[in-house]
Amino acid sequence: MITRRSILIRAVSRFQTEPPNLYARNHAQFYRNSSYLASLISGRTIRNCEDVLRTSAAYVQHGGFMRAHQPVRRQQTATASSSDANDIIQFKLSDIGEGIAEVVIKEWFVKTGTKVNQFDAICEVQSDKASVTITSRYDGVIHKIHYGVDDVAKVGSPLVDIKLKEGSMTNPMAKLHQEVIPDDMSSLQDARSIEKEHVKSLATPAVRRIASEHNVKLSDVKGTGRDGRILKEDIQRFVDSSQEAKKKITEKISAPSVESVSRKPDKEDKPIIPKASVFRPTESGKVPEDVVEPIKGIKKAMVKTMSAALQIPHFGYCDEVDLTQLVQLRSQLKELAKSRGINFSYMPLFIKAASLALTQYPVLNAHVDENCENLIYKGAHNIGVAIDTGNGLLVPNIKNVQTKSCLDIASDLTGLQERAAKNQLSPEDMKNVTFSLSNIGSIGGTYAKPVILPPTVAIGALGKIQVLPRYADKHSDVIKKCHIMQVSWSADHRVIDGASMARFSNLWKSYLENPSLMLLDMK
């Protein structure tokens, strides 16, 4: 994804190879991506590459505003007026995308009187679709907190009041940091060091504490969260990679369990123990009181989605798949993938086979508009995977499956499962799904009636793999042991006919029953 930050970094790299006047003439689009930078450059004479290099490298976009480092030669910029020191700013909840109008406050990382700097985590909020960490745009002290944990906050309403730090201005766009830039600063490495300093700060206090306990520098850790945010599991992976630190891993950074889509074949035939009830047993003869639970967060999203899905005329199609050859192939690939640090379940193979079949039947990878007047054939195969979490059912998706190997899909799937377990899925993980698979077999089901997720037009539910007797072929009386899985499809009968669904299912089935066919069609 191209961001303002990446555009500026690309601009800086070009400054070293092109004269500034040529760069300004031929590549002005870089300037337009940062209005503040453009206005600064247009109002002054570009004398040499170093001036522009210092200017653009010192601008780091984050949270919807530009942090300005004013380049000066051997002099300092004017400080803010003393009256600004007593300013109290209302920090409002910004739009986090996807048309979300309200969120639930899940956790506060600050309290009244806490000192905060720009990019410090303030709170974590849960929308209908994902969990997002809100970071500060100001330096100062928390003056007032407007919501408690589990309260519903609306977009545009104030989250906290921040008393600005002395020397800070009310408008962060106009903030000029007092900094002297030496004359001999001319390397891109120096510019990137400024960028790196700000990227390092994208971590919550809890993550910083864990990193400190393990003597890990955040600058050495690659963040996998939104906007490069460093997560707890990133610290864990970094520590795991060091032989000396392996024994120091503690339970506080290990991921909680989640009913995921990754089937574990060594546990297929073991009975599944139901989860314990959330209600404690009462004394004999006593009737427990009714409990009222507000429907919010993910459950509220399910209400909206299922209500919309109810308007779709579903039709179903079921079949069984002989996975005997696939089971053998997966057993060979599992250890190879494990040596690369990847958990390789059956699901990546199911997903890749679906993508190959969607290439032949693109109507099943389409969206239908709200009034069912247009069918939009989607170019990307963004395949959603249903994941059962403690907060409810989530369907994040793996992007551009048509361009990825089975190993890539397995890696992406593991990442989605880990983030879902920690309630850290981002809006990007949830949006733009084009087709979905639900693995009910990981819980123990055989057949299901999956519900289509609007605006998609098809979904599949995969049953558990069972060892069952089957005839060797239709002309033989010989019975053999086979690994059989049932599949249940649902499609939107307004735009999908039964024959198309059956042909798609047959092609998908052929890839799984004869895995070598997948090699022929993979690009």
The pLDDT value recorded for residue 98 is 59
Given 182, 211, 227, the domain boundary residue is: 182
The mean pLDDT of the chain is 74
Whether residue 141 lies inside any domain: the answer is: yes
Whether residue 360 lies inside any domain: the answer is: yes
For 320, the domain range is: 298-521
The pLDDT value recorded for residue 59 is 39
Peptide bond into 348 cis (omega under 30): no
Which of 40 and 410 is assigned the larger pLDDT? 410
What mean pLDDT is predicted for residues 410-421?
93
Which of 211 and 309 is assigned the larger pLDDT? 309
Are residues 165 and 54 both part of a single domain? no
The pLDDT value recorded for residue 362 is 97
Q: Return the top range by mean pLDDT from 52-66, 89-103, 146-160, 165-179.
A: 146-160
pLDDT score of 25 more than 80: no
Which of 362 and 284 is assigned the larger pLDDT? 362
Which of 394 and 180 is assigned the larger pLDDT? 394
What mean pLDDT is predicted for residues 46-72?
38
Q: How confident is the model at residue 432 (pLDDT cuts 50, 70, 90)?
A: very high
SS3 154: strand
Are residues 93 and 56 both part of a single domain? no
Which of 7 and 438 is assigned the larger pLDDT? 438
pLDDT score of 78 more than 70: no
pLDDT score of 60 more than 70: no
Given 129, 147, 182, the domain boundary residue is: 182
Q: Tokens for 68?
A: 């300005």
Give percent above pLDDT 90 in the chain.
Answer: 38
CATH of the domain at 392: 3.30.559.10
Whether residue 57 lies inside any domain: the answer is: yes
Given 152, 182, 212, the domain boundary residue is: 182
DSSP track, 484-516: EEEEEEEEETTT--HHHHHHHHHHHHHHHHSTH
Catalytic (active-site) positions:
493, 497
Are residues 351 and 397 both part of a single domain? yes
Q: Tokens for 91?
A: 């920090």
pLDDT score of 359 more than 70: yes
Q: Tokens for 45?
A: 């004479």
* C-alpha–C-alpha distance, residues 71 and 57, integer Å: 10
The pLDDT value recorded for residue 168 is 57
Whether residue 322 lies inside any domain: the answer is: yes
Are residues 425 and 494 both part of a single domain? yes
What mean pLDDT is predicted for residues 286-311?
85
pLDDT score of 257 more than 90: no
The pLDDT value recorded for residue 512 is 97
Are residues 25 and 86 both part of a single domain? no
Are residues 441 and 503 both part of a single domain? yes
Are residues 13 and 93 both part of a single domain? no
Q: What is the pLDDT of residues 174-216, one digit of tens each?
A: 343 333 333 343 334 443 443 444 444 466 766 777 777 777 7
Whether residue 303 lies inside any domain: the answer is: yes
DSSP track, 106-161: EEES--TT-EE-TT-EEEEEE-SS-EEEEE-SS-EEEEEE---TT-EEETTSEEEE
Count up the domains in the chain and report the number. Answer: 3
Q: H-helix or E-strand containing 482?
A: strand 479-492
Q: Tokens for 255?
A: 């991921």
Are residues 113 and 53 both part of a single domain? no
Least confident interval from 162-166, 268-272, 291-295, 362-366: 268-272
Whether residue 494 lies inside any domain: the answer is: yes
What mean pLDDT is predicted for residues 513-519?
92
Pairing status of strand 102-108 against strand 121-126: antiparallel
The pLDDT value recorded for residue 85 is 42
- Helix 49-57 and helix 35-42: axis angle, to 10°? 150
- Helix 188-200 and helix 49-57: axis angle, to 10°? 10
Q: Residue 471 contacts by C-beta under 8 Å, 6 or more apart in sequence? A: 477, 478, 479, 480
Which of 481 and 35 is assigned the larger pLDDT? 481
Are residues 168 and 29 both part of a single domain? no
Are residues 25 and 163 both part of a single domain? no
* C-alpha–C-alpha distance, residues 213 and 26, integer Å: 50
Whether residue 157 lies inside any domain: the answer is: yes
CATH of the domain at 130: 2.40.50.100
* C-alpha–C-alpha distance, residues 121 and 225, integer Å: 13
pLDDT score of 20 more than 70: no
pLDDT score of 68 more than 90: no
Whether residue 195 lies inside any domain: the answer is: no
Are residues 63 and 90 both part of a single domain? no
Are residues 105 and 68 both part of a single domain? no
